[in-house]
Structure 1
Amino acid sequence: MAYMKGNNELAGWAERVYHRMIDKAENNWGMNMESWDWVPGVGVISILAYGQLAGNQGAIEYLLQWTERNKHLSEQVKVINSMAPYAIFPDLYRLSGDQWYLETAIKIGDWMLTEAPRTREGAFEHTVTENVHFSEQVWADTLFMAVLFLARLAKLTGDSKYAKEAEFQLLVHLRLLQDTHTGVLFHGWNCAEGNHMSSARWTRANAWVILATPWIAEEISNLIPFSDEIVERYQQLAAGLLHYQGEHGMWSTVMDQPEFYAETSGSAGIAAGWLAGMRMGWLDVTYKEAVDLTLQGVMERIEPDGTVQGVSGGTPVMPSISAYEEIPCNPTLYGQGLTLILLSLAQVEIGGSYG
């Protein structure tokens, strides 16, 4: 089955989604690019992917300017969930030659290796900028928000210590969060209590991991022997996600609760992760039809001005599964971003080996 949308159409929608992120200054939490946290972090990671995949030099220039405007804010926060913006630093260093990017990235990478809070299993504790503590908690989000940066730093420097840590974090997160019965991931793990708290199979948590895993592997697999267990767990995750995909290509915000609302950011991230897995050779072409279905469903939620609708708000590990349904939906940079990554990857694959 060929992709339902043509290359030019995907490019046009990607450009609208991108410009919706950068053209209008907004102070609300979900769409504010001028801050230093995971939300704009996902935004800049997605803009980098878009700029590279679509060959949009303007997007790269935007990131250089964004960093110049906001780098002073980075000095105020040093928590795991706010590592996300640093994931663009290795590429910006390669593109600009500015030593500040390299020196800052190494400083932050070393902080993660030696000082960042960890659980008893050695996983990064999910620390955040908000005045709230998740002591001894492991969240799926961390792999995209922090470990992706470490993997990119490893490739930039050629230093295996960052690669080994990235692989370890990936493996320990998968071991703690993966449901052995379904293959999909729970949102979080409480190390002190030894349980998955509400045991929610939250869709966006799965999206972070299905996308981050092949991206991390791509960065570090030439530096260290890459774990076969990670690949096997990734394939189990991919198959489990296929099982829960709805008829319109989307996933409910908690994927095993089909009566819950369909959620756009997680759905886009899952399809993007499948595409990344196919590019790595980890998944076969049987996933193409499922990607098409999600692409169609996601694009139906993009407004003419590029606003992505149906995106659930910021979501900690909730006290019950039913509480996830109560999270309101609003446009956000991570919703825009995961959609932009999907559109960009799909555009490349149409012109490449999946045409």
Structure 2
Amino acid sequence: MTSDSAAAALSSSAAASLVDKLIHKLLHNEDADGKFLLPLEDGRVIDTKGWNGWEWTHGVALYALFEHHELTSSRTSLAIIHDWFAARRKEGGTTKNINTMAALLSLAFVYERDPDSHTEYKDWLVEWAEWVMADAVNGGLPKTQEGGFQHITYDSENKGQLWDDTLMMTVLPLAKIGKVLGVQRYIEEAKYQFLLHIKYLYDAVTGLWFHGWTFEGRHHFAGAHWARGNCWITLAIPLFFHILGDDQDLADHASPLSKHLIGTLEAQLDALLPLQDPATGLFHTLLKYKDSYVESSASAGFAAGALLALRFGLIKDADKQRKYRALADAALKGVVDMIAEDGELQQTSFGTAMGHDLDFYRNIPITPMPYGQALALLAIVEHMALDASPRA
């Protein structure tokens, strides 16, 4: 699918209609029978499907809403973000972990836009960033060997483990907080975490990323090249440049750090090109295995990430620009085809813990989730933004 045909297939009015449907479903999704609720030992029950919980599922959605506001000036999307944080503050917040940190990315962005009107946000930004920086002995985020951010969740310590999700969920928020508040040590720590996660999770043989690494036994668990985990990388690298665009290590794309990050992103996108399902434009949940189902949320993430990389000028080679745009366009078409009349992004897999064999990933249930709605929203918005950009 060429860029011209993609634009024709998704007119401004059609895109706006799809965005409205996606957001409506995001706000009204329910776990009617409680099948996907997460009960905790302390008696709390975390709702990862509905809109009134606090989990990474909501954090990703909040950022997509912010991007929609930023690129379209939607007051509705901005109001949804402020209302969500007001409700969570009234509830007293939540337990800090890698996944719950995801919401702080959008909080930092909206605080930056109007710090005088939302002074209460600053306290939260500082509190969460200092928790990330502190060690476990001092009540902070547990660290792995070499100071990695251990992927703790609500219900699992995951001792000694690095996951590819962490860059999106915790490292980007830390970088943005550092940028907004002018705290350089937050920014430098974020740079280090990108380098450390590349060291242990990037697969030099394929160009893809492993889902996880453990220092306890030193292995990659099932060795899975899991699609949604990979899409977090496709998104996180361009967004890192977006967040720290004027930092001396990232503003110059010829600097060692920039070259390393962009090269890693290009290697991943090159690896994705032959893995796209020709019939649907989507990607399989296990990227290299056609016997695993095609999965919409990851495919939307790949489209959005590739479009972001193009919009931010990270891809210099003209042939690669063409190939990555074609990948994004085909994936976006597949995602749009999966949006039901009620706005549900179909073919979205549930939240995925670390698998110890590949069948674990093949058997993750499919169900509508906030991040599915959000990633589809982000892909559509980035498509519109790139076509409106002088670089497009």
Q: TM-score range by the shorter chain?
A: over 0.9
Match of 1:273 among 305, 315, 325: 305
- State the identity %: 27
AA partner of residue 325 (structure 1): R
Aligned partners of 2:25 and 2:342 also within 8 Å: yes
Contact 1:215 1:276 in 2 (8 A): yes
- Counterpart contact for 1:30–1:331, Cα < 8 Å: no
Could you tell me which of 21, 26, 44 is aligned with 1:16?
21
- Whether 1:236 aligns to 2:256 is no
Asked whether 1:141 is paired with 2:165, we answer yes
Stretches (4+) displaced over 3 A: 23-30, 72-76
Matched, 1:100 2:137: no
Q: Distance in 2 between matches of 1:171 and 1:5?
A: 37
Quickly say closer, same or farther: Cα 1:22–1:221, change in 2 above 3 A. Answer: same
Alignment-derived partner of residue 201 in structure 1: 225
Task: Structure 2: state its 5+ residue gaps.
Answer: 35-46, 135-139, 251-256, 316-320
Distance 1:204 1:354, change over 3 A: same
Post-superposition CA distance 1:137-176 (Å, at most 9, x none): 1100111111110121122122221111111111111121
| From 143, 152, 167, the counterpart of 1:118 | 143
Residues 354 and 250 of structure 1, relative CA distance in 2, 3 Å threshold: farther
Please say which structure displays the higher CA radius of gyration.
2
Taking structure 1 as the reference length, what is the TM-score of the superposition?
Answer: 0.95
Q: How many residues align?
A: 354
Corresponding letter in the other structure for 1:191: F
SS at match of 2:145: coil
What pairs up with 1:1-355 in 2 under 5 angstroms?
1=2, 2=4, 3=6, 4-23=9-28, 29-73=47-91, 75-96=93-114, 97=116, 98-114=118-134, 115-130=140-155, 132-226=156-250, 227=257, 228-247=259-278, 248-283=280-315, 284-353=321-390
1:175-217 superposed Cα distances (whole Å, 9 cap, x missing partner): 2111111100010001121110100000000001110111012
CA contact (8 A) 1:303 1:309 kept: yes
Pick closer, same or farther for the CA change 1:45–1:89 going to 2, 3 Å.
same
| Residues in 2 aligned to 1:279 and 1:7: alpha-carbon distance in whole angstroms | 18
Cα 1:72–1:116 change in 2 (3 A) is: farther
**Helix, strand or coil at the partner of 1:225:** helix
Uncovered stretches (5+) of structure 1, i.e. residues with no partner: none
Return the structure number with greater relative CO, CA threshold 8 A, min gap 6: 1
1:319-353 superposed Cα distances (whole Å, 9 cap, x missing partner): 20122111110000011111111011111222334
Contact 1:33–1:43 (Cα < 8 Å) also in 2: no
Rounded to whole Å, the distance in 1 between the matches of 2:263 and 2:29 is 43
Letter in 2 for 1:195: H
In structure 2, C-alpha distance between the alignment counterparts of 1:152 and 1:305, rounded to whole Å: 34
Amino acid across the alignment from 2:108: P
Any conservation in 1 of the 2:142–2:150 contact (CA below 8 Å)? yes
1:210-265 deviation per Cα after TM superposition (whole angstroms, max 9, x unaligned): 10111012212423413121221111112112232221211100000012100000
TM-score (norm 2): 0.86
The question of whether the paired residues in 2 share the 8 Å contact of 1:211 and 1:269 is answered with yes
